[in-house]
Structure 1
Amino acid sequence: MNTKSVRIAVIEDDPGLRELLQEELESVGYDVAAFTDVESFQNQQATFEAQLVVSDIRLPGISGLELLAQLQAQEKAPPLILITAFGTVDQAVEALKQGADDFLTKPLDLEHLLVSVERVLTFHQLRDEVEHYRQSQQRTAEGPAGIIGKSRVMQKLYDEIERVAPVEGAVLILGESGTGKELVAQALHQQSQRAAGPFLAVNCAGIPAELLESEFFGHAAGAFTGAQKARAGLLKEANGGTLLLDEIGEMPLALQAKLLRVLQEGKMRPVGSDQEVQIDVRILAATHQNLEQKVADKSFREDLFYRLETFAIKVPPLRHRGDDVALLAEHFIQQVSEQQNKRIKGLAAAAQELFYSYNFPGNVRELQNSIERAVTFCDGDWIDAEHLPARMRLEQVSEIATHATEQWPSMDALQADYVRKVLAHTEGNKQRAARILGITRRTLYRWLTNDD
């Protein structure tokens, strides 16, 4: 490591040892500031900005262990090496448990000190580089409108959004509940020429049928009992922008006919009015239902379906998105941890296994809710299986039990089946599969060879 410009703070109340430590560290190129106590260090830290602290444990005033606790509470604190003449194994273990980077005892071996300083600085430099790389990967995994995902199916979705967004026609967004259809709608709006205009979203299933027409088209004053003032309606409010009709399959047939006229002619008539109003709004529709089946059942207009279906975009379910599960989990862990003022590092191995084997019928929304629950109940650094919803754990046990009861496979067969599932999840990437399985690639190849 290049020691130039690396700033080290030495806190030692023994003048002779303090001077010796400073001279030794400066002799190999470190920029060193020496302090007699923690208070003096804290007063200068804002200007000196130490990248490593070497501190005695027993100091006047604040002790080295108390300093460790204070540094651990900071978001970006320098690493700490503790020194003491009263070192015991228990004390060393306790200090390391609390987050100290190393623990040295007096009489001090200066060569050991230099090795320790080099090792700690190198470790933190590598950790920062990994974190920077992780964040850059997270940024590259972000699609339009903050959509997270870099799987092949999501890259295809981004391409479709980019192609369809500039077009003025209506768009039908298809996908299971919880896949993020509204985010796709927002992305279409943001990448369109209407981006400066309003974006409104309405759930057709969330409004009573008798109020839908007034909600969409507005009404004239006195149009019906209680209509004391005229109302513009959502279509007029979204003029110059985009209106998302979520759960379009729940719209009554009579209203579907009026919506079709809006799409064809760009005109609408408020309830109770004799005047038609010209509007300029792009319609996006979303549904998790099979509209073709509804057309066959005569519960959805065929002409409206074909008008919407011209530009149809299908949002993939989470179970088809491979490693996006891990990306989304990491994103939600960071997001929820910040909201709850926690420092959760990620998923423990058991929790990762559950996530990779679970199908997430509720898709991204279910994943997000699972992470929110897990962060809430997690008191440590890592989310474990016990912090996840019970249904996820029970499904895994139930699947294994059912499989075993029906077929009574051998352990080798169960292992081979699980390996195949992990490989399918990683789309054949053996390096990622080995990482998930907790084995080396060589072991994975041996397992695959034996299976064949």
Structure 2
Amino acid sequence: MSLKQKIAVVDDDLEMGRVVKDLLTEEGYEVAQYSSAAEALAKIKTDVPHVLITDHKMKDIDGLMLLKKIQLDYPDVITLMMTGFGSIETAIEAMKLGAYHYITKPFKNEELILLVKRAIEKSTLKNENKILKLELNKSFSVESITGKSPAMASVFELIKLVAGAPANVLITGESGSGKEVIARAIHNSGERKKKPFIPINCTAIPENLLESELFGHVKGSFTGATNDKKGLFEEANNGTLFLDEIGDLSLPLQAKLLRVIQDKQIRPVGGNQIKQVDVRIIAATHRDLKIMVKDGKFREDLFYRLNVIPVRVPALRERIEDIPLLVERFIQKFASYGHSKVKSISAEALQVLMAHSWPGNVRELENVVERAMVLSRSETIEKSAVLDSALAEAKQSVEQLYADRPTLEKLEERYIKMVMSEVNQKKDEAAKVLGVSRRTLYRKERLYGLISADAQEPDDELTEKI
């Protein structure tokens, strides 16, 4: 048993306190004995225990008052109450105040030892969860996002400016560019960071189930609704709801989402009860919503409600200087899994990666690095492993183009991205391959969010082929 596991015993009956102290010391715990609540409170300021065991009836401050004070000032301390036989009401009151458990006098040594062991296990688990939460927040903080390029520096600055504001945020950028990472960084940098961050991909859930997923439903409201269910808005109350691929939301659901944003109220599917919600919305899309508004595919009023603070995530080809940092991070990440001995990448291999156009952005780069680490036989990723991985990635992209039976619109988007990659983003050549004018190519790229909405159209063409 580790001596770092500290226990405080508080009892004005010195003999009883000594018995408990000796018993637990023999079990390997570091035990401090206090003869009053006042003494315990004074000493705990500089020596906080993992577990505190207190008697109920004491001369100065009784055990219940001590428990209340400990729970208020030291919420991570697990508390146990010792109470006389027959004082069940006191025991229940102690647990209402936050005590882990109670034990009645006289007690068997084995009973106390088992109870303390469980309390220590709870303390350990509580601390591990706390550390894990801190690490999770750290992993999605602004400082943890990899990038030193000017394009990313402006994003970092914007995150810091908007994090504390309650306004809705619209994040735009190509698929795989890291929009959710940015959304989490905004959440974890603001006042809502201790509250839930609930992500949902609007394309991943069937249309007929999405309303129920967002707003919840009541039992019997539709076939399969065997129980009441909370919606994600209610789950995210006082926190942040991240709506990924908001551009794929149907017009009827757009209207309902607008109503929720305006009224801050939800009504579960099939229910009559109105529920108040306080949710910050961060939406993301790879599409150009302005074009979709013009085409009648996205509500203009909803667009302005979401686009209070616009954040554009640059494509990887716009921040090539960040690739070495990203590669280093991915190598460390996959090496920590213990499945690869790779520790570095050669200069030649890195040059190959920096010359690639990365239509799949950071996600594609991560996949290539992982595959190259699997193929590498030494501690360094060589050029051949990168080339093999890049070819495999390209082949996989073509296969995926048809694998999931995409819509015609989605297929067109993917095909344009693939052609642009093959011609190294040269629009004249891409337009020829696609059989359209440069003006049409620009319009298509804006529609699918492949370029900024502010990109200038070519003015040297008066006609279009489609």
Provide the TM-score with structure 1 as the length reference: 0.55
Q: 2:211 aligns with which of 192, 213, 231?
A: 213
Structure 2 match to 1:289 = 287
Distance in 1, matches of 2:320 and 2:369, equals 18
Distance in 1, matches of 2:316 and 2:358, equals 7
Contact 1:145 1:184 in 2 (8 A): no
Per-residue CA shift, 1:164-199, capped at 9, x if unaligned? 111111110100011110011101110111111011
Distance in 1, matches of 2:140 and 2:202, equals 29
Structure 1 residues 254-333: aligned runs within 5 Å: 254-333=252-331
Structure 1 match to 2:145 = 147
Structure 2 match to 1:415 = none
Q: 1:345 aligns with which of 335, 343, 354?
A: 343
Contact 2:349 2:386 in 1 (8 A): yes
Structure 1 residues 39-438: aligned runs within 5 Å: 144=142, 146-390=144-388, 392=390
Per-residue CA shift, 1:23-63, capped at 9, x if unaligned? xxxxxxxxxxxxxxxxxxxxxxxxxxxxxxxxxxxxxxxxx
**Percent identity of paired positions between Structure 1 and Structure 2:** 45
Residue 298 of structure 1: SS of its match in structure 2? Answer: coil
Q: Structure 1's 393 and 224: CA in aligned 2 closer, same or farther, altered over 3 A?
A: closer
Contact 1:373 1:389 in 2 (8 A): no
Q: Structure 1's 143 and 390: CA in aligned 2 closer, same or farther, altered over 3 A?
A: same
Q: Structure 1's 393 and 277: CA in aligned 2 closer, same or farther, altered over 3 A?
A: closer
Distance in 1, matches of 2:187 and 2:223, equals 36
1:364 deviates by 0.5
Contact 2:183 2:282 in 1 (8 A): yes
Distance in 2, matches of 1:361 and 1:202, equals 24
Per-residue CA shift, 1:269-292, capped at 9, x if unaligned? 111111211001111101101111
Contact 1:142 1:150 in 2 (8 A): no
Contact 2:368 2:390 in 1 (8 A): no
Q: Structure 1's 186 and 399: CA in aligned 2 closer, same or farther, altered over 3 A?
A: closer
1:309 deviates by 1.2
Residue 229 of structure 2: SS of its match in structure 1? Answer: coil
Residue 176 of structure 2: SS of its match in structure 1? Answer: coil
Distance in 2, matches of 1:391 and 1:253, equals 41
Contact 1:171 1:285 in 2 (8 A): yes
Distance in 2, matches of 1:399 and 1:260, equals 41
1:349 deviates by 2.7
Structure 2's unaligned 5+ residue stretches are: 1-138, 395-421, 427-466
1:338 deviates by 2.3
1:145 deviates by 6.6
Structure 1 match to 2:435 = none
Aligned residues: 260
1:146 deviates by 2.5
1:225 deviates by 1.8
The residue identity in structure 2 corresponding to 1:363 is N
1:231 deviates by 0.8
Distance in 2, matches of 1:208 and 1:314, equals 28
1:368 deviates by 0.5
Provide the TM-score with structure 2 as the length reference: 0.53
1:341 deviates by 4.4
